[in-house]
Structure 1
Amino acid sequence: MSSDPKRTAAVLAAAFLAAAFLAVAPAASAHASDHDPSAGERIARALRGSPVYVDASYTTAVPPSRQRQLAAEIKKTHLPIKVVLTPLTKGDAFDGESDVLADVVHDRLPQRDLILITTDGDFPDTLNGYEWPSDTHQTDDAARATAFLDETREAGLADMTAKAVELVAEGDGTKVYEEATKDLRSPSPDDGTSKSVSHGSRSWLWLLIAVAALAALVLTGSRLASRRRSRTADVPELVFATARAADEAELRRRAETEVLALGEATREAPADRTPALQQALDAYTAAGTVLDAARGVPDLAGVLALVAEGENALSGTAAPLPLCFFNPLHGRATARTTWRPLGRRDRLRIAACPGCATALTRRRPPEVLTDTAPDGRTVPYFEIPAERSVWAATGYGSYGSLTEQVNRGDFTRSLG
């Protein structure tokens, strides 16, 4: 009896993937019992007050104003939707598994019917969907579809989550997912029709994506050492469809979204209960000024820093911290520390994110945002002369109010 070598290879590959899935599934289930109960309870407690939980490290991507918008959109659906956006890494309270996170949160929430949208542990810029007691609203497919739709493929986390909520409410996530991924499914050698991708908690599609990514990197002899690395024809577009490219175009879209969200938040804020409303409005004006004239990543990072100042004013937080001094794209700082720049004797008091603070403690150089010096060299942004860069002059807010300096014309003068 003759056999088709291609068909045999396909069957063997499918068997290998199935065996791998079955091997890791029990381990994932076991992790559910080894989790840190305080982490799950903390998230569940927050979800009892709001349908949206965003970890502090994601508040730059999904600021409080966007969180309120998402909560309002969820309320309009009249569905038991909850959103948990938190980084997942191997060895954390959920062992980096969104399945474990979902089970833990579900166990600690009182309602029987629940729709949960979470971040993914393997692909941080994608979403997973879960529903109890059954996937009536096609939540799984609705969440995963956002990584493949043209409108959200390179969108920020807030926009992807909003789209997932919209698809869940419409109830046709499977149709949308299959349409968005139809080009990724090969015709069957038997009947020429496309086979559907299986919808497990760990779809084979994601395994195939990982294999494709590895093969592409081996063939090109390099790896993705920078998130802003240019796309090349040698790397399958599918790999990039599952990861948000942190390039200037994406950052500009993100900055535009956050400025609009800050504007809406200031308009909705009650004047009698928002003592610093004028400061928030000033920050909104400054952010718009910089966004309109932004010439690159350092300027766009400045937009995010100004939005953060506006959000601080709205929240009324005492002595709020700005974004990370070393790289505002790291998100909000969590502590102030002293730091001595290389070649200088004086020490600066700056605000740092957890990663940069740890690097300083271990005497390692933090990852810094770079800019172009007048002589054309690429240098840390804070090495640009202060008269040529309002960001160097202010440390993106570490040295005082960035809003005041932009609104008095420092940014415009530095452009000149």
Structure 2
Amino acid sequence: MCTDLLRPAGPQPAATPRRLHRALALGAASAALLCGTAAPAAAAGSPGQKIADALRRSPVYVDPSLASAVDAGQQRELAAQIQRTRLPIRVALVPLVEGDSWGGKPEQLAEVVHDRMGGGPAILVTLGEYPEDISAREWPSDAHQAFHAAASVYFQKDMKGAGPAKRVARAIDIIKAGNGDAVYARATADLDAPKPTPDPAGAADAKAASGPGSPVVRLLSLVVGPVLLLAAVGLLLRRRSRLRDLSTPFALPRSVFAAARHSDEAGVRDRAAEEVVRLGEEARGAQGEPAAVERALDAYAAAGTVLDRARGVPDLAGVFALVAEGRAALSGAAAALPPCFFHPLHGPAVRRIPWRPLGRREQLRVAACETCLRAIRTRRAPEVLTDRRDGHPVPYFEVPAEDSLWAATGYGSLLHGPDDSLAARVQRGDFTRSRD
């Protein structure tokens, strides 16, 4: 590679032999110098190494572009706070944008800096991927519940509009307390809580009582308000019903998924076996289009194959996905959504959403259930089904596709068009090859 430095970049003017010899000698010396020093210099000057070196001198590093947001006095206060915790906390406040050295991802920044610092137990607090958000990563994972400790700050009402220094300080306090999971649960509890039903009639009465108004206006408020409210509620219910009709026709009841999800592996296996038997009965007794019945029978046979050779919950979740595929065929719903990509035991998906796997540039469109959809919209990590790789639990989709039919297909989310199916892939041996 270093010899490339001696090659002319384009057409060169003619030179005398003596001048050419001198130029080549000078070029060779320069190339040797560059080849001996360029790589170490590049490593030493890399952004990750620069931050790591700074964190060896002080537990707080602030990028110069953020110096006005976190001034020197605030940096000293954070450093003193970290020292009092007696925990291996480091703070690296660096602006994150798409296309930067970290791909705009706080977890990538944390991994690089942790590696440059030599690894070992550590907690690294950074800015988050979104405005007014911060992130934390720790090694070993979840030792101090740092991830949720940092994530909870975004949802705490008294932190709205607070600067990065105050938000980081709050996260450090929660990390020190070691109860980040509980704090996060409290901070996000109202996200799923039903909102109080507005009372237009009461509002109209209050308005009338506080100022002049004609009896006709008050009467109209009493009558029209509830009517509009009922119309809005009816519209919402019809919309939800339409979504369910489009996405989960003839699919497994949610109660089946819920019961399986909260069982141990033996319980999941029993539930899966029951649903396979039921699908077979429904397919054999179906009076629909022959091609659809055949697809359902193929799904039934494939589900039986997977059930017989299932090694754990990820395979058993595949059985449920195949049963759902068979029932969708019986219903004639060619556009039915597969189970939730993130955790198929959550049950049927409600829509597809864009999603980009960590460390990859391409964006996928995956099917998500209501729970995971709500988590992603509120910038929470959805619950993910895990598999084992090299003896460690990992998200099932991080297993190499050649070793897992479920990673390759996302339980149906990543199939290639209407002619592709889980049943067809099982039939051609994709599942059994990954088991051997």
The interval holding the TM-score normalised by the smaller chain is 0.3 to 0.5
Point out the structure with max Rg over C-alpha.
2
Between the two structures, name the one with larger relative contact order (CA 8 Å, sep ≥ 6): 1
TM-score using structure 1 length: 0.43
More helix by share: 2
